[in-house]
A and B are shown apart, each in its own frame.
Chain A
Amino acid sequence: MKTDTNLTTGGANMARRSFLRYAGASAATVAILGAASCRSEQIPHPVDATDIGSGDIGILNYAYALEQLEAAFYMQVVATPYSGISTSETAYLTDIRDHEVLHRDFFKTALGSAAIKGLTPDFSTINFSDRASVLGAAKLFEDTGVKAYDGAGYLIQSPDYLTIAGKIVSVEARHAALIANLITPGSFVNPDQVDENGINRSASIAEILSAVNGFLKTKVIASSFGYDKV
């Protein structure tokens, strides 16, 4: 069965229901997990840690968390440009900001009530007035995004969600290559990101979250994916 969506009369609610059709099954699993853990020992974790959940909803929330972080970063980059920024760099970084904000807003809309809360970033280690500091952080975030989507792809159960992840990850890879080339021309497929087979490196949810939590005041955990405390 396929749920048809009439965009002109069906409205966002129908569209969201369609999007969440399979994710709903995962949401039910979350509920079971919650009920089960009530009866066992509570796992201690920081009070403000946000759990992405399980199943496809968990993966989508994982992506949503990363997009929130990227969007917040580029909003700051564009609001307070580093000294010596060129016309082309302003254009590129503004575009990337807009792409990441749209990715964030897409996940928020599509996930609806299943979405994790808004995360508070911590960019205290980044000097936004310094080009090298900003582009270095941008490279880290873009490379992390690519490795995260590629590493979590096989966990996705719904072919539709897998395609959506694919639509986003290639744009992140385009960003990653651009930022790398801005830092060092010709460094867009260097061995730090691409292995000896010409394949982009990937990373697990635990590896990614342990790296990005350093840039978040609101910590993110993934108890269903082997990362249950910060």
Chain B
Amino acid sequence: MNLFEIIDEIEKVDPEIHERLNPRRAAIKNITSFGSKVAVAALPFALGTMFKKAYAAASTADVIGVLNYALTLEYLEAGFYNQGTSKAGLFPGSDTQYINKITADENNHVTFLKNVIGSLGGTAVAAPTVDYTGGNNKGGGPFPTVFTNYDTFLAVAQVFEDTGVRAYKGAAPILINNQVVLTAALGIHAVEARHASAIRKLRNDRANGATAKPTIYPYIVSSASLGNDTGVSVANGNYAGEENQTQGGVNLSSLASTAVVTAAFDEPLTKDQVLALLVGSFIVN
């Protein structure tokens, strides 16, 4: 077995492998002496170690940056549900257990993220000033009845949850290979998706009852040209891109209907995209 042949094989699919492993090709040669002394069976593990170094993990500062971004979003969500649950009579009795569970999760996310940031030696950001009518504290926001009308509350909740899913998804690659933080972030990501599913079903069941054909689905059912399926047109930007039908370079539109192709994959948003959607409306600037 010749290690150079292995590197050459990899080079066929990854022309930059030498640069990834080490900018100086001489470093590759050093492995030959290593390889010749190590049992053949151990080589894949040696290679695995090289790859781990080649696709390097983020710095602690970058990880803290992601966590503070997540914390800002969790402050926004937790504050929203905390205010909602403080309004007597806003929820019908049967829905209270749903909202209470989501409220508890969002507050737990805030606590958890603050603890992790602290344990990494970082400083947690403060809670943002918020305006849940979406009016940047200047009045005239699109959701003036957010805490007096339950349907408005649910519509805003749905947008927050779906956007939260997109935000965590977009940030995940920054945490690549970080077993502890990435796994936790993916775990919060999944819980936000569970919330989104539940809020969407509450909205549907209010409109159609629980057993008739649904019109609002627990997943995002886009058309070919419009990602937003919520009926809240002011939130179109929060769903922009959900209409995507190409995954991993594979165009899926010939395999299933547009509704199925768009619903089967949720799409990410970058930090800049998310903050542009929230700052100046829900997050006061």
Contact = CB atoms under 8 A, between A and B. Distances in A.
Q: Do A and B come from one complex?
A: yes
Interface of A: 1, 5, 7, 12, 14-16, 18-22, 24-25, 27-29, 31-33, 35-37, 39-40, 54-55, 86-89, 91-92, 95, 98-99, 101-103, 105-106, 109-110, 146, 149-151, 153-154, 156-164, 166-178, 181, 185-186, 188-189, 194-202
B190 A168 contact: no
Interface in B180-220: 182-184, 186-198, 201, 208, 210-214, 217-219
Interface of B: 1, 6, 9-10, 12-17, 40-41, 43-44, 47-48, 51-52, 55, 94, 97-98, 101-102, 104-109, 111-112, 165, 168-169, 172-173, 176-179, 182-184, 186-198, 201, 208, 210-214, 217-219, 246-252, 255-257, 260-261, 263-268
Nearest to A85: B211
Contact of A171 (B55, B201, B211, B264): B264
B264 A99 contact: yes
B108 A196 contact: yes
Contacts of B47: 29, 32
A172 B165 CA distance: 12
B40 A188 contact: no
B252 A106 contact: yes
B266 A170 contact: yes
Contacts of B247: 106, 110, 164, 167
Given A157-B51, A170-B165, A32 B173 contact: no
Nearest to B7: A28
Nearest to B96: A186
B40 to A, nearest CB: 5
B12 to A, nearest CB: 7
B48 A88 contact: no
A102 B211 CA distance: 26
Contact of A163 (B172, B188, B261): B172
B264 A98 contact: yes
Contacts of A32: 1, 6, 43-44, 47
Contact of A199 (B179, B187, B198): B187
B7 to A, nearest CB: 9
A158 B187 CA distance: 19
Contacts of A101: 256
B191 A198 contact: yes
B201 A181 contact: yes
Given A99-B260, A178-B197, A194-B194, A19 B250 contact: yes
B213 A173 contact: no
A39 B13 CA distance: 26
A199 B112 contact: yes
A161 B214 CA distance: 33
A37 B277 CA distance: 53
Contact of A200 (B179, B191, B213, B264): B191
Contacts of B94: 185
A189 B195 contact: yes
Contacts of B15: 1
B189 A37 contact: no
